[in-house]
Amino acid sequence: MIFKLNMFIFKCPVCSTTNSSDAKFCRHCGYAFSYNTEKKVEHNSNNEHSQNTKEKSNTGCIWGIIILVIIGIICFIVIANSHSSYHYTPTPAAEDSDSVAVVDTASADIDAADATYLNVSDDNIDIDASGGSKDISIETDGDWEISTSTANWGHLSKYSNSVTLTIDENTSSSSRSDYFEITAGSYTKRININQEGNTEPTAEINSIWMDHSVYVNNVKGMKIHVKFNVNNMEGEKVYGYAYFYYGDNETPLHDTYGNNLKFYSYGTSNYERCTFNDFTIFVPYDGLNMQPGTGSTELSFDIAITDASGNQLARKNNTQITFSR
């Protein structure tokens, strides 16, 4: 059990002797304390009230601090949430060699098909008169296409990273040129084509037919008709030869000198590219050197077109005939 004694100890104002708070007279000099005791009790009461007020004040401060801390935490949470939901996209700085541009890849709209460069392995192609093919490599980081094609004597084949150009033979003596274009995004490459003219004489046999038992200058024989073209022989003579064989087209008929039996005719090319629609070669029957009474014999002949120097320009073999004497 604990007893709390509310007692003041004070001194006598006369002799300075200490006395208890409930003493009415000084225990040494007998001084009466009735008035002063009331003052001191009142003072003590005031002190207790002051102490209680101070304790209440301290308690209020503590609660105030706690409330402020709670409010601060709530404000921090609200601000943090608002910042996390805000999306900031920085504006790139002006181009500078020392600056670094910040790009928001989440919102950037990039078209993967757009090219940033385009290169071709050859943009100037030379082809000789005989024609041919050429491969051109394509280097780009985007989709590409043949945006401009060639003339009808050029042909293009597109692959994943290349183009094959095929050029027809140039039968003219004049050179010719053309181009095509490759496009990727905003980039375009032009590939030029140059082909030489054909300055060498050439010929092509189109068809052969015959007339039998005809007379030329009272000589009986047959006419061989040939349709053919010649190139690059303007103003020059063109020769047509008929070489005769037996039906196997291997065993030759012979002339009186033992050579392969042949008959010929010639004409003149009036144009750079000239067509002979009905070039004729007369073959007298007697010139075949077939003996009378041999009956029907299977023969064949070849047609050759040459220039004046004997250079063969075209040949068509093995036209079959049946000869009766």
Q: How many CB atoms lie within 10 A of CB 170?
A: 20
The predicted structure's pLDDT at residue 34: 59
Q: 280 with 209: CB under 8 angstroms?
A: no
Give me the amino acid identity at 129: A
DSSP state at residue 174: S
Predicted TM-score of the model (pTM): 0.49
The predicted structure's pLDDT at residue 54: 52
Highest-scoring range by mean pLDDT, 58-62, 90-94, 226-230: 226-230
Q: 238 with 266: CB under 8 angstroms?
A: yes
Q: Which residues contact 292 (CB under 8 A, 6 or more apart)?
A: 325
Query: What is the pLDDT of the chain when averaged over all its residues?
Result: 83
Q: Is 59 helix (H, G, I), strand (E, B) or coil?
A: helix
Which residues on adjacent β-strands are paired with residue 137? 162
pLDDT tens for 153-164 read: 999 999 999 999
| Domains identified in the chain and CATH numbers | 7-49 (no CATH), 118-195 (2.60.40.10), 202-324 (2.60.40.10)
d(CA 311, CA 315): 11
The predicted structure's pLDDT at residue 112: 44
Average pLDDT for 222-243 = 96
Instruction: Kindly give the pairing relationship between strand 18-20 and strand 176-184.
Output: unpaired
Residue 290 has pLDDT above 80, yes or no: yes
Least reliable range by pLDDT among 53-57, 198-202, 281-285, 297-301: 53-57
Q: How far is CA 212 from the centre of its chain?
A: 66
Average pLDDT for 207-231 = 96
Q: How many CB atoms lie within 10 A of CB 298?
A: 13
Residue 89 has pLDDT above 70, yes or no: no
Q: Which residues contact 310 (CB under 8 A, 6 or more apart)?
A: 239
Residue 99's closest CA among 91, 108, 89, 110? 91
- CA angle at 147 for the pair 141 and 150, rounded to the nearest 5°: 125
pLDDT tens for 12-41 read: 888 888 877 777 778 888 877 654 444 444
Q: How many CB atoms lie within 10 A of CB 279?
A: 21
Instruction: Kindly give the pairing relationship between strand 237-246 and strand 296-307.
Output: antiparallel
Q: DSSP letter string over 133-154? A: EEEEEEEESS--EEEE---TTE
Q: Token pair of 275, please?
A: 């067509």
Least reliable range by pLDDT among 32-36, 81-85, 274-278: 81-85
pLDDT tens for 97-135 read: 444 334 344 433 444 468 999 999 999 999 999 999 999
Which residues on adjacent β-strands are paired with residue 182? 146, 189
Q: 182 with 120: CB under 8 angstroms?
A: yes
Residue 4 has pLDDT above 90, yes or no: no
Per 3-state DSSP, the chain is made up of helix, strand and coil in percentages (nearest 5) of 15, 45, 40
The predicted structure's pLDDT at residue 127: 96
Q: H or E element: which one contains 43?
A: helix 34-84
